A and B are shown apart, each in its own frame.
Chain A
């Protein structure tokens, strides 16, 4: 019980938001079958069975990502994080999972603490997780082997870290867009949106 409340409290911190985003990434990677099912392990978190990746290289990648994102979040320099799923063979962008983050400036600058009902936040996160899981039903099937990339939209005055490089936004031309639930920790407001490649037969219809 204590651990549960601690987990809930952990959500409402700057670092917590980054961890949630990387957990979303794991869920997406599982649901979109970017990595095989065997490389995930089931953990209960936020009142839901969560799937976290076990592959060491991806794990280290995710931990580096989390630390960097939390650093940017603490500085209030991060605008959005995008998980791009691309075809391995052609490099074509197939899906873009867009997490737009609005940071409360007062919290970053003055360290003001905000209170929000833990249950409500949990409920919001659960809703997103469920939506991500159910998105498999309408997103086009990924027939080919895919790889993923993480983009971060930051302020221009941010120094580029070693493990990051400047990139193009990897946009999809004429995409289909579905807005998912957002969650608000009173420190960060995260809006989620998935855009994916428009199927050709859809256009013909």
Chain B
């Protein structure tokens, strides 16, 4: 039971109105519940005034209280239920919590166990870690040490690298320098090579010249040597003659001495002396004549021998040359024969169409071809022989020239011999002078004999004269011996030179043979290559093979199909006519044929239609493709291109291209080009003759021969004009 304090009691005067309103408007607002058996109110709570007011509760008030109470009770019941449900839920929660607690406890215990295990493991791990740390520390220290070492090494390496780089740089510089030097050297080497090649070529030429010169020299020297030998022989003979003379002179002298001695002893016998002198003079004269004749004979004999030898040589050469010429003539005759044979074969070839059997002709032709090949080979051989003979002829001519030179040298020799003869004549004159002197001496002796005075002085002068002449002769003899020895030396030298030249000649002959072999090889190669060339081989470096596009076959086919179709059409027409005629004659039979023909006509029409369609399709496809191509060209190169075919006054077809830039500012800006068999040339029109354009044409087309560069430049300029200004 809830107790409430009643509202404070109002005064009775004031309670005129309704108790509800008074209660309502009362300031106390306290509600008091009155029970049937009211309990004594707690005294300490109420004053005396309030106790009176508590009994004024109305039914309504009770009802209200009751209702309130009921409400409160229901509320409390509800609350109790709520609390009970809450309790149940709390209990459930609690049981759940308990279970959870148990679980958690288990978990806790488990985790504690795990913790213990983990601690154990941790300890183990810590120990391990410690160990590892120790190890790693050791390693770290080692690594640090090695790192330091490596750093040191690195620094060293860095230093080394720097050094190496610097050395590399220096080396590169050196290399560059060396390269420059190398290029210079290579240039110089090339130049030197060229120079050396030129020198070699020059030296080769010179060598050839010198070889020929040496050959000529050799021959000349041979001639000279021969001349010298003959001269030496001559001189020997002269020497022998002179010795003989000298002996004679000595003999004469001794005789004269004897005579003088006898003369001195027998001065009286003057008549005998004169006789003796006369005799002596006669003897001297005779001897002189004999000596002259002997000399002349000897010299002539020697000359004759020499000339005979030369004549023999020349005759042998001439014979060789003549035999060569005879061979040449024979070869020419054989060549003529071959030519005549060839001409006869050719005439036969022309005559052959008259032969009846074609197999024979083929056989004949193959045989003829073989013969022609053989004859051509023979011609080749003959030409080689001819060349060889020409070479031989040249050699013979050279021999003849040599012989001429020899003859010239012989002439020279003869002149030398003449001079010798003159010299001998001079000697003779000297001898005659001596003779005269001797005569004079004899005369003086005679005079002295006749006078018979101072014989001793004259004898002395005579003896002196003889001695001086003797000394002169001795000197002369010595001079001659010296000349002889010099000539011998010269002769030896010439011989050694001759040997050397002979060796060279042999070398040259060998070389000539090897060159001949080379030339033969090259000839065979040339013939092989010529046959290849005739076959149609070519070198791709120099030659390009072009084929004229030939649509004649295709056109021919088309023509043939057209002709066939026309023929068919003609036939069909004829048939139609025939059928119409038949139709007129017999109605039913005509109908069948008519249907057949109409079917065929329809078929042909279909064919024509399909062909026309195909043509149309080709045309449209071509037009499409060409328009695409044109547009692409226009887009890619910036020019609209119009192509026209023209004909020049001389009838040669020319293609004209008109180009208009897509950036052109007026319709007059057009370039015109003419294309003719691979060459494109710009035409001069109003636009092209404008100052700037003409300048560009001059630079790009005329000077650098590049139309694309010109058009590209023009495109750029027009583009700039259109966009920038």
Residues of A within 8 A of B (CB): 57-58, 61, 64-65, 67-68, 71, 79, 82, 88, 96, 98, 100, 130, 134, 137-138, 147-156, 158-169, 171-172, 175, 177-179, 193, 195, 202
Contacts and interface: CB of A to CB of B under 8 A. Distances in A.
Interface stretch (B135-143, B535-543, B592-600): B535-543
B1 interface: no
B550 A147 contact: yes
7 contacts: A148-B550, A153-B545, A155-B542, A162-B677, A164-B546, A166-B544, A172-B535
A178 B369 contact: yes
Interface in B552-567: 552-553, 555-556
Given A138-B361, A147-B553, A160-B678, A177 B534 contact: yes
A167 B546 contact: yes
Given A67-B652, A98-B534, A179-B534, A156 B544 contact: yes
Interface stretch (B41-49, B349-357, B698-706): B349-357
Given A67-B652, A98-B536, A134-B352, A57 B543 contact: no
Contacts of B533: 100
Contacts of B538: 79, 153, 169
Contacts of A67: 652
A interface majority secondary structure: mixed
A138 B546 contact: no
B547 A151 contact: yes
A183 B448 CA distance: 110
A57 B677 CA distance: 20
Contacts of B534: 98, 177, 179, 193, 195
A133 to B, nearest CB: 9
Contact of A82 (B536, B552, B652): B536
Which of B352, B358, B537, B678 gathers most chain A CB within 10 Å?
Answer: B678
A171 B366 CA distance: 22
A144 to B, nearest CB: 14
Contacts of B366: 202
A65 to B, nearest CB: 6
A159 B679 contact: yes
Contact of B541 (A100, A130, A156, A167): A156
Contacts of A82: 536
Given A137-B353, A177-B535, A150 B548 contact: yes
A130 B347 CA distance: 12
A35 B553 CA distance: 11
Given A67-B652, A96-B536, A161-B677, A155 B543 contact: yes
Contacts of B365: 137-138
Contact of B544 (A65, A100, A130, A153): A153
A166 B327 CA distance: 54
B350 A152 contact: no
Interface string B507-546: 0000000000000000000000001011111100111111
Contacts of B543: 79, 153-156
> Which 9 A/B pairs are nearest by Cβ-Cβ distance?
A159-B678, A167-B547, A138-B365, A164-B546, A161-B677, A150-B548, A152-B546, A147-B553, A156-B544
B178 to A, nearest CB: 40
Contact of B552 (A58, A79, A172): A58
A162 B548 CA distance: 9
A195 B366 CA distance: 14
Contacts of A179: 534
Given A96-B536, A134-B349, A161-B677, A61 B550 contact: yes
Contact of A166 (B362, B545, B553, B652): B545
A167 B545 contact: yes
Given A134-B352, A161-B677, A149 B536 contact: no
A150 B546 CA distance: 8
B548 A155 contact: no
A151 B361 CA distance: 31
A6 B553 CA distance: 36
B724 interface: no
Contacts of A164: 546-549
Contacts of B548: 61, 64-65, 68, 149-150, 152, 163-164
A160 B679 CA distance: 10
A161 B353 CA distance: 43
Which of A138, A155, A171, A177 gathers most chain B CB within 10 Å?
Answer: A138
Nearest to B365: A138
Nearest to B652: A67
A166 B556 CA distance: 23
Given A155-B543, A163-B549, A137 B536 contact: no
Contacts of B555: 57
A179 B677 CA distance: 33
Nearest to B538: A153
Interface string B325-342: 000000000000000000
Nearest to A205: B366
Contacts of B545: 151-153, 166-169
Contacts of A65: 548
Given A130-B350, A167-B546, A169-B545, A161 B552 contact: no
A136 to B, nearest CB: 9
A202 B537 CA distance: 24
A68 B552 contact: no
A169 B538 CA distance: 9
A148 B551 CA distance: 11
Contacts of A156: 541-544
A202 to B, nearest CB: 7
A151 B536 CA distance: 11
Contacts of B531: 177
B352 A137 contact: yes
Given A57-B556, A134-B353, A159-B679, 11 more contacts: A98-B534, A130-B350, A137-B358, A137-B365, A151-B546, A151-B547, A161-B677, A163-B549, A164-B547, A165-B547, A195-B535
Contacts of B546: 151-152, 154, 158, 160, 164-167
Given A134-B350, A161-B677, A150 B536 contact: no
Nearest to B353: A137
A167 B555 CA distance: 21
Nearest to A167: B547
A149 B544 contact: no
Which of A96, A163, A171 gathers most chain B CB within 10 Å?
Answer: A163
B268 to A, nearest CB: 110
B131 to A, nearest CB: 85
Contacts of B362: 138
B550 A150 contact: yes
A20 B652 CA distance: 19
A147 B550 CA distance: 10
Nearest to A68: B677
Given A138-B361, A156-B543, A161 B678 contact: yes
A88 B560 CA distance: 14
Nearest to A65: B548
Contacts of B549: 163-165
B547 A149 contact: yes
Contacts of B369: 178
A169 B533 CA distance: 12
Interface string B73-102: 000000000000000000000000000000
Interface in B342-389: 349-350, 352-353, 358, 361-362, 365-366, 369
Contacts of A155: 542-544
Given A57-B552, A67-B652, A134-B349, A175 B544 contact: no
B125 to A, nearest CB: 85
A65 B516 CA distance: 47
A64 B548 CA distance: 9
A14 B550 CA distance: 25
Interface in B647-664: 652
A152 B547 CA distance: 6
B368 to A, nearest CB: 9
A154 B536 CA distance: 13
Contacts of A168: 545
